Structure formats: C-alpha cells, structure tokens
Amino acid sequence: MQSVEQLKELHLRRFGTVPQVFAAPGRVNLIGEHTDYAEGFVMPAAIDFATLAGVTQREDGRVVIRAENFDEERSFEAEALPEMRSGEWSDYPVGVLRTLAEEGYRIPPLSLSLWGDVPLGSGLSSSASVEVATAAAVTRLMGTAIDGPAMARLCQRAENEFVGASCGIMDQFVSVNGAANHALLLDCRDLSYRLAPIPKSVALVIANTMVKHSIAGGEYGTRRAEVELACRILARHRPEIRFLRDATVVDLERWGEEIPEAARKRARHIITENARTTAAAEALETQDMDRLGMLMHEAHLSYSHDFEASCAEADLMVELAGRLPGLIGARLTGGGFGGCTVNLVEQEFAAEFKSKLGAQYRERTGIEPEIYICHASDGVRRVG
C-alpha cells in the first residue's frame, strides 16, 4: 500500500487541509468463475494492494478530484456534477458521486486525493478499489453511514451505469467486506456471505500472462447466451430452475441430451463450479489445503475444457506452477482468454516460486510476466 503519511502530505500541500484517509483493496478470485450471473457462488479475497482516498471539505462550492498516480485533476461545481462520462480515470470517482446524488444525497464541496498501487487493468480490480475508496471517504465526510452491501451495490452501479463497464458485484463487494487472512464466499443470489480462513502461512501469488486474446469481448456474450439456453431447457423439466445455480449434475445427466453440446458443456462448468466453490470454503474452514488445491485444479480444467475460456499461455502458467515447490493450487482467474492465474503458495516458498515461474514462463513464451505476491487483506477501512 502507498504511504498514508505521504498522501496526507500531498493533500495538505495541494489543498491546505489534512485529510481523513480511507484504503480500499483490489481483489483476486480464488474460485467461482462465471457463476455470478447464474446466481451462484464466488470466493474472492481482498489483497494488500489498495487505493487510498484522502478527503476534506472545501469552502468554494467546488469538487476537486486529484489522481496522484497521473498527476491530474478534475473539478466542477458540487451543485453541477458531470452528466456524461469522459472516458478517463475520473469517471470512476465521479460515477460514485453521481450515484450517491441519484440516491438523494447532497454532495458537499470537497477535495479528494486518490493514490493507489493496484496494478491498472491487470484484472485485480483497481477500478473497484477507486470506487470503494471514494464512496467510503465521501460518505464519511457527509456524515452518512451506508452498510457494506449497499455501498458495494452503489459502486457497482457507478461502474455499470456511469463508467459503462458491465461487471458483477463481486469486486466491489469484497473490496468493502473482505477481511485479512480470509477468503469471502459470496452467494450472488442474495449477497449473503461468510469468511473462510486462509492460513497466515499461505501467500496469494498472482501471475499475469500478459496476454488477452481479442475473442474475449465477443465470447463473453456467447458464453452467457449458452448458459441461459441450457438453463431454459432444464427448466422445462424442473420449473424451479430459475438459474443454473438451482440445477444439479443429476439434472444434466437426465436431460443433458436435449441441450446442444457447447451449451451443455458450459452448463456443466457452472454447475460443478458452484459445488467446487462451496466445497473450497469448507476446505479452508477445515484447513484441508490438499483438498483446496485439488478443487482449484479441477476448476481450472473445467474452465479450460468445459467452459473453453482458457488459452495456451494460461494453461502453461498453471502447468509450470504445478511443478514448483510450495504450490497448493493454481488456476486461471477472471473472465478468461488470458489475464492472471492465482496460485496459493506456502509463504516460505513464495519468493522462489515467483522467480522460477517467471523465468520458466519467459523461457517458454518469450513473454515477461508480471507476478505479485499478495496476502488476503481487510476490506475498506480508515487508515492513519
């Protein structure tokens, strides 16, 4: 995390007042991929990369937002929030202000400084960390308390509606509600959740393949359509199946023949992934790391073979990890077709794991990966 003292100093120098500072983390999903829109389960952890937001009141009626990462500022009248997105970084904090205003809150004149170390656009959800840090800082300044799930929904709406990026609730939810040394099992149906302990001796090593295959955009829509088709066919037999969350492998065995092959495979991924995700939380709760590793391995195979959302580079990254000492489990995380793998690694092996995985991946692909050693961290909080 960036230095809180340094952010205070920067804010003081620029705006003349010492801010209250909030930190909101990025995240990594340990298991549960493409299950969110099937009203299923996901199990992310907040990580120790975060965006800091420092906030103070102003006397001149304006809102001034400063991005220390870019040395840029955006300002406007508090009574006249921007109505349109601009296509740049300020959309994320402005989207949060607008969403608050739409919910009936009056945005006071304020100075907001943002400064983060979540890698941008690497799939660790720097965007959610900016939104959540902004929401926490601004609501505190307004003297308003918003509960965790409501804050997550508000930030998701800002990203969906103002920024114009479709994303589920997971990123914002865990950035608000995550806890140090815990993963968060989230039920995307009703947003109920429970925390499952990750042993302190385990590091979350995130390895960026540095590739994102261009099919990713279009394939997301095809996958969703296939999942919905499979669901409709199963629901003809069992109307209580509203989403694949409600279906079982037995349903698939009985009526799978009626579903076109691709859709059947996508459905098998979702149905088995939901079961693996809740089983993974139980494995953490019983400290059964071998079981957790197996579940992550099976999740990767299912994502690769049934959901067909992996790629050669991600499969290689997972395969190489499997041969290194200290690995508990590895799989491709995120939307698919590239991006990052998540590796649970015994902390004492983490540095060696990082350097060997990096060297071997580079040797095999010619690509220099980015690898981050992280730990499960607290959700948004006041710091300093």
The residues assigned a catalytic role are 171
Rounded to a whole number of angstroms, the distance between the first and last alpha carbons of the chain is 12
> Which tokens hold the place of 112?
């907001």
CB of 234 to ligand ADP, least distance (A): 33
The answer to whether residue 114 forms part of the interface with ligand ADP (CB under 6 A) is: yes
Q: Which is nearer to ligand ADP, 104 or 121 (CB)?
A: 121
Contact 316, 364 (CB under 8 A): yes
Is residue 156 at the binding interface for ligand ADP, with CB under 6 A as the rule? Answer: no
Q: Which residues contact 26 (CB under 8 A, 6 or more apart)?
A: 46, 47, 49, 50, 51, 118, 119, 124, 125, 126, 128, 129, 175
SS3 16: coil
Task: Report how far residue 273's alpha carbon sits from residue 33's, in angstroms, rounded to the nearest whole number.
Answer: 7
In whole angstroms, how far apart are CA 241 and each of 77, 90, 140, 154, 293? 49, 41, 42, 29, 30
Residue with smaller CB distance to Mg ion, 159 or 246: 159
> Shortest Cβ distance from residue 209 to ligand ADP (Å)?
14
- If binding is defined by CB under 5 A, does position 122 make contact with Mg ion? no
Tell which one of 29, 51, 134, 177 touches ligand ADP (CB under 6 A).
51
The one-letter amino acid at 224: R
Look at residue 130 and give the partner it binds from Mg ion, ligand ADP, none, a contact being a CB closer than 5 to 8 Å depending on partner kind: ligand ADP
Q: Which stretch binds Mg ion (CB under 5 A): 127-135, 147-155, 347-355, 373-381?
A: 127-135
CB closer to ligand ADP, 162 vs 353: 162
CB closer to ligand ADP, 65 vs 233: 65
**How far apart, in whole angstroms, are the C-alpha atoms of residue 163 and residue 174?**
20
Residue numbers 73-102 binding ligand ADP by CB under 6 A: 89, 92
Residue type, 64: V
- Among 29, 51, 113, 127, indicate the residue that binds Mg ion (CB under 5 A): 127
Query: Residue 272 has which token pair?
Result: 């088995």
**What count of other Cβ atoms lies within 10 Å of the Cβ of residue 13?**
8
CB of 1 to ligand ADP, least distance (A): 12
Binding site for Mg ion (CB under 5 A): 125, 127
Positions in the binding site for ligand ADP (CB under 6 A): 51, 67, 69, 89, 92, 114, 116, 118, 120-127, 130
